[in-house]
Each structure stands twice: as structure tokens, then as C-alpha cells.
Chain A
Amino acid sequence: GNSVTQMEGPVTLSEEAFLTINCTYTATGYPSLFWYVQYPGEGLQLLLKATKADDKGSNKGFEATYRKETTSFHLEKGSVQVSDSAVYFCALNIPTFGRGTSLIVHP
């Protein structure tokens, strides 16, 4: 069946550092891939998506590229801010979510 594997957290960074959160998936066919973000005490917000191989999703400085050859959809941001502190979930189609990766950014 479908599954998503995310790197364990928490990821702790200083402000302006480069961020990578790894996500790999197992699926049949050609799934759509998503990153959702959950800020403390809030619900899940769609951050970005990609629907086919080699697509790049981007939003708010975050990017992820759909790599079918490596079955990956890693989230990256060039310079993180304290306000990016949240839990990030990789998702496959709907309803399959990864376990979430907590990001903590220090000033």
C-alpha cells in the first residue's frame, strides 16, 4: 500500500540557515505529493504540492521537487525564519500522511 517516510525530528536551526526535510514515499502509479504545515495550536495548512514527476512546488520560500526516480519529495528553504517553527507533514495523495517533522528555529 501507500506510505510516506519522513526524517525524524526535531530539526533545530539558527535563523537564516538552510533547511532540508527529507520525505520518501512508496506508492503505485503516479501519486500527487504535498507538504502541509501545522503551526502551534492550529490546523493543517497546505504549503505546496506537485502532481507529476519533475514538478516543483513552491510557496513562501519553500520548495520541493517531485523525484520519481528516487521516490522523494524533500522540502527545502534557503533561509529559515523563527516564524517557520512548526511541524511539517509530507503527504501522498490524500489520505496518506507522514509522521511529521518538527522544525525549531532559534534567533
Chain B
Amino acid sequence: EPEVTQTPSHQVTQMGQEVILRCVPISNHLYFYWYRQILGQKVEFLVSFYNNEISEKSEIFDDQFSVERPDGSNFTLKIRSTKLEDSAMYFCASRGQGRTEAFFGQGTRLTVV
């Protein structure tokens, strides 16, 4: 069964460093999303991406965040200068054309120290 895969599963970084979280969406999906979840609490929307551009973003997704689809399979989230409060679980999701449901990866736990 096709699935969304995310790497790494856990990343520890020092405050101020840049991190790139990677996602491989389901292969024929066209809509991509990043969410974060702090301490197992609410799931917060960050950004959605379609046709090689951001289609929607939340107020959390400020200038320190960026997304990219560098090739036909990967979808990345970059945090330029990490802060302690960026520590969270980051989930990638994808959705197929004409479908309403999104499928989520297992997440990357980001710890900023």
C-alpha cells in the first residue's frame, strides 16, 4: 500500500541552525501539506503546496520557513534559523487529484537545543 514517508524520524539541532525535513509523498498525489504538533497536542497547519507553488499558509509559516519540491518525488520543509519553540513533531501529508482525504507520514520529531 502506498504511503507517505518522512526522513529523518528524529532530528536534534542547535538553536540558530538550519534544518531540512524531507518527505516523499504518495507517487501520483498532487497536493502536499506540512503540519506540526507540539507535545502531542493540536495539529497545526503550516502550508499547502500545489502545482509548484504555495496555495495556502498559516500565520505560523513565517519568513523562516520555506518549502520546495526539488524533484519529482521529494517535498521539503526548511527552517532557516531554528528556535527552541520550533521543537515539535512535523507531519507531511499528500492528497490525490479529485480526492478529499489526505494521507500522513509518520512524522519527524525535531528537537531544538
Which of A34, A43, A49, A97 has most B Cβ within 10 Å? A43
Chain B 36-67 residues near chain A, CB threshold 8 A: 40-45, 48, 56
Is there contact, CB below 8 Å, between A95 and B56?
yes
Tell me how many residues of A have a C-beta within 8 Å of chain B: 20
Q: Which of A34, A42, A43, A97 contacts B45 (CB 8 A)?
A: A97
Q: Which of A43, A49, A95, A98 contacts B100 (CB 8 A)?
A: A49
Is there contact, CB below 8 Å, between A42 and B100?
no
- B102 CB–A CB distance under 8 Å: yes
Is there contact, CB below 8 Å, between A43 and B33?
no
Q: Which of B31, B95, B101, B105 contacts A43 (CB 8 A)?
A: B105
Is there contact, CB below 8 Å, between B104 and A95?
no
Once A and B bind, how many residue pairs between them come within 8 Å at the CB atom?
A: 50
In the complex, what residues of B have CB within 8 A of residue A89's CB? 43
Tell me how many residues of B have a C-beta within 8 Å of chain A: 22
Which of A51, A94, A96 has most B Cβ within 10 Å? A94
In the complex, what residues of A have CB within 8 A of residue B105's CB? 43
Give the CA-CA distance A94 to B35 in the complex, in Å.
11
- B74 CB–A CB distance under 8 Å: no
Which of A45, A46, A89, A95 has most B Cβ within 10 Å? A95
Interface digits, B19-30 against A, CB 8 Å rule (1 contact, 0 not)?
A: 000000000000
Is there contact, CB below 8 Å, between B45 and A99?
no
Known: A94-B33, A95-B35. A87 touches B103 (CB 8 A): no
Is there contact, CB below 8 Å, between B41 and A100?
yes
